[in-house]
Structure 1
Amino acid sequence: MILLISDLHLQEERPAIARAFLDFLRGRARGAEALYILGDFFEVWLGDDAMSPFQHAMAAALKALAEQGTRIYVMHGNRDFLIGRRFCREAGCTLLPDPSIVTLGGEPVLLMHGDALCTLDVGYQRMRRLLRNPPARWLLRHLPLASRHKLAHRLRRESRQHTRMKGHDIVDVTPAEVPRMMARLGVRTLVHGHTHRPAIHKLQLGEQPARRIVLGDWERQGWVLEVDGPRWQLEPFDIAPAGALNG
């Protein structure tokens, strides 16, 4: 059994989501062959040198699962693209490039966070190329922590404002980009997150059937894609509200 999740946006201010994730690791993920986290695992990541006690606790929970034999892979999202090797060592996980092709259910599958597919959002793509550039990431990691906090706060504020102003077609994936990317890489299944619009979309690549599976974000519900041999199941599960955690 292989599990895929994304867009948890973990932060200390969302205790119900953190508790749901810990329960997921101790329950459904226990004994899984592999767990893939396809980006935006954390709401914000200022650098491995700036990990909070909360983030250390999440890393320790992943490490406990890894020590039971589950392989864990983490992909950068647009919120946590500064996750680096130190976190991966502490969490017992492997950093997965975006995009990556892995074998799931006996077939090659393209895994992405999903933001690179939103090509109509020209301004975002320009900023993405700038921030993901290795020299820029090096510079960001070496800024004073106070400066990183200010920058992260400004970027999150601007992102929320821009998202409200843009149409749904702008912040969703570009329809033509999906088959183009899949055909170029020779796959018939794509799994991604980012858009917070969970669904399984049937596609056609030439004469071949194909599919795009969109993972959901963890808000009022959690979402997981379970691959167990030929069986693929995308499903939600309930998350207890924060007030119910101590009940």
Structure 2
Amino acid sequence: MQKLFISDLHLSEDHPRLIQGFLSLLKHYQHQPTELYILGDWFNVWLADGDPSAWLLPIVKQLREFTASGNRIYFLCGNRDFVLGQGFLNRFDGILLQEPYFLDWQQQHIRIEHGDALCTDDIAYQKFKSVIRNPIILNFLKILPFYLKRKLADYFRRKSQQRQTQTHYQPIDVNFQEVDRQMQQINILIHGHTHRPAIHHLNEAQQRIVLGDWREDTGCAKIVLLENNGQINFFDWRF
């Protein structure tokens, strides 16, 4: 199967164009044997695997049709949807991955992750992550009543909107020493998070591929397709 990698869609009911772009992607590849890897920040905010929101229904429906055709969906969490679990993925036979995740393709050893762990210079965020990802805190968040989860989501959404009023907001970039440390015995590293899509050729045997965030204003996202013939196709998905 060919392998398709996407990241940083930030889907929400407030951004219908992004939703339609994702649904179009699923329809486009539905009848092409494809393993779809979603590398975090699939949703702008994730409240609970049992979220009853109506806007999620067409997404789940299209995901079911995608996997019913024999395709596969893999997800690893980002900084926006880290409470999304196997419970939601079970609705369409998706598989939850733990990062970093490793796979082999065309004699290449590949590492995939969201990318936030590589941004070690973002000290404030790394401190926040160490607290919010604590299993005790995570379990507490999961048992909160849904209305309180909604209030928390609204708070974080306002914070995100304030931050993203800057033109083409980008998180702090990766720390290159951390990248070098994590790429031992790795040929290809694929990640998102930084909103800086590019292919970085580190040497003749190693490259780092950074996926792009999905942009409603331009209707474009930079994604990667590892083709069965061994080609790496890094291209704009337009919607």
Question: By how many angstroms is 1:104 displaced?
Answer: 2.6
Query: Contact 1:4 / 1:37 at 8 angstroms: preserved in 2?
Result: yes
* 2:234 alignment partner AA: L
More helix by share: 1
State the match for 1:6 in structure 2: 7
The 5 A counterparts of 1:181-220 are 181-183=182-184, 186-204=185-203, 209-219=205-215, 220=218
Secondary structure in 1 matching 2:111: strand
| Distance 1:212-1:51 versus aligned 2 partners, 3 A rule | farther
Count of residues paired in the alignment: 232
Match of 1:227 in 2: 226
User: Displacement of 1:159 after TM fit?
Assistant: 5.0
Q: Check 1:181–1:34 CA distance in 2 against 1; reply closer, same or farther (3 A cut).
A: same
Report deviation, 1:161.
5.4
Separation of aligned partners in 1, 2:158 and 2:122: 17
Deviation by residue 1:222-246 (Cα, 9 ceiling, x = unmatched): 222010132001100322xxxxxxx
Q: 2:57 matched to which residue of 1?
A: 56
SS in 2 for 1:179: helix
**1:104-154 Cα distance to aligned partner (Å, 9 max, x none):** 333220000011111011110111121222221111011122221222233
Letter in 2 for 1:213: I
Structure 1 residue 93 corresponds to structure 2 residue 94: yes
Q: Aligned letter for 2:90?
A: R
The aligned counterpart of 2:115 is: 114
Find the aligned partners of 1:170 and 1:19 in 2 and give their Cα distance.
Answer: 25
User: What is the CA–CA distance in structure 2 between the aligned matches of 1:225 and 1:169, rounded to whole Å?
Assistant: 20
C-alpha contact 1:43 1:79 (8 A) present in aligned 2:
yes
Distance 1:163 1:191 in 2: 24
**Which residues in structure 2 correspond to 1:102-181 (within 5 Å)?**
102-159=103-160, 171-181=172-182
Q: How far apart are the structure 2 equivalents of 1:164 and 1:130?
A: 27
What residue in structure 2 maps to residue 46 of structure 1? 47
* CA–CA distance in structure 2, aligned partners of residues 106 and 142 of structure 1: 44
Percent identical among aligned pairs is 38
C-alpha distance in 1, partners of 2:163/2:15?
23
Which residue type is aligned with residue 155 of structure 1?
Answer: F
User: Secondary structure of 1:25's match?
Assistant: helix
In 2, the alpha carbon distance for the partners of 1:88 and 1:194 equals 21
- Alpha carbons 2:225, 2:233 under 8 Å: kept: yes
- Secondary structure of 1:2 counterpart: strand
Q: Which runs of 5+ in 2 are unaligned?
A: none
Q: What is the Cα-based RMSD across aligned positions, in Å?
A: 2.1
Displacement of 1:169: 9.5
Q: CA contact under 8 A between 1:10 and 1:43: conserved in structure 2?
A: yes
Letter in 2 for 1:233: N
Q: Does the residue aligned with 1:176 lie in a helix, a strand or coil?
A: helix
Which residue in 1 is equivalent to 2:79?
78
